[in-house]
Amino acid sequence: MQSLAVARAVTRDGVLTDVRISFEDGRIAAIEPGAGDGAAPLWAVPGFVDTHCHGAVGVSFGDPDPAANRRARDFHLAHGTTTLFASTVTRSLEDLERESAALRALFDEGVVDGIHLEGPFLAEAKKGAHAAELLVDPTPEAVERLLAAGGPALKMITMAPERAHAMEAIRRFREAGVVVAFGHTDADADTCRASIDAGATAATHLFNAMNGIHHRVPGPVPTLLHDERVLAELICDGVHLHPDVIRLAHEAAGPDRIALVTDAMSATGSADGAYKLGGLDVIVRDGVARLTTADGSPGAIAGSTLTMDEAFRFVVSEVGIPIPEVARMAATTPARYHGLTEVGEIAVGKRADLCLVDDDGRLQSVVRGGVHIPPARSA
């Protein structure tokens, strides 16, 4: 049996001090007080759960090479992501079927924990870094093809509910056990509420790629923040959202309805330069990914180069939210909403997935399934 001793642990039963966490056969076997002088001056928090991640180190998830997908997965693991949904972008249905098959094999091996399809059922007006010519309506045939391709690995899909057949598609995906997320949409508040009633229980990168708040035309954001059925993703990299907006979302929805995600694309962990996102050209400057434009002007934000450890640190140190609440947003809440019962908490019987962070929220150590992973600390 292995163990680690820390000054504080964010557990199912609250914050415990001077605690020893023991694990055996990949699971937490005991959580005991009295760590003594050997306790590291760190916090133990649940391993991070990222349900929106497109890749890293030059690799986009869904690459036909399994080893390439593993390299991207290992990069994020070293940054604290112990549970990961591999996300795709808008492609043709044929390409999405091929990518889903590649990712389904990795899901069966336990390399990734699910597939998240971001597209192709998105709104052209809010397409962001998605190819407009490949956006389609969620017809029954298209829905069934994607369900068949993903099988049990398909955990989440982002949709614009104003598209033709969308409400029927939302109900069908929910019937199949797939979480439907409201996103990349031009929908108003009424359509947003209708989609939630139909079964859309998540919001893809809240505030981004949707209509903003106006005092006479509120749009979807107030509904998404206040409806208790909805999980709201936030990309906390200092680029997608201002710290004041993150605080607003936290105060409105609380840590039990917010999930930190990276939306990381293939350039994550690599140098600035030219990359691809789906079939689109992307330029990364100073770590910010944007679509390439003909005249060289800044294009739409194209995902991020964020890692979960940096998101955690940013929310703790730059936004000012306490570590126990950020731990819920980075692990417990997304695990609960997505039915991931083995992870997301430090509790006896759960998988031994842990991140050790300092008082500033900086990652110091990673454990997945009881195995210590060399961390790659953010700058």
Annotated binding site: 118, 129, 184, 205, 208-209, 216, 240, 301-303
Q: What is the dihedral of CA 117, 122, 125, 131, to 10 degrees?
A: 60
Give me 17's structure tokens. 């001090």
Read off φ and ψ for residue 198, nearest 5 degrees. Answer: -75, -20
Residue type, position 214, single letter: H
Residues 6+ apart with CB under 8 A from 156: 51, 85, 114, 115, 116, 117, 178, 179, 180, 181, 202, 338
Does an H or E element contain 223, and which? helix 221-226
What is the distance between the terminal CA atoms of the chain, rounded to a whole angstrom?
33
Q: Catalytic: which of 113, 263, 309, 353?
A: 263
Helix and strand tally (H, E) in the chain? 10, 20
Q: Alpha-carbon distance 83 to 66, whole Å?
A: 18
Q: Is the dihedral of CA 205, 230, 180, 167 positive or negative?
A: negative
Cis (ω within 30 of 0) for the bond into 243? Answer: no
Q: Alpha-carbon distance 368 to 144, whole Å?
A: 34
Q: Which amino acids are annotated as binding site for substrate, given as ranges?
A: 129, 208-209, 216, 240, 301-303
Sheet holding 273-277, edge to edge: 273-277, 280-285, 288-291
Active site residue 263: yes
Q: Which amino acids are annotated as binding site for Zn(2+), given as ranges?
A: 118, 184, 205
CB 268 within 8 A of CB 260: no
Sheet holding 27-33, edge to edge: 27-33, 14-24, 2-11, 40-46, 354-357, 363-368, 371-373
What residues act catalytically? 263
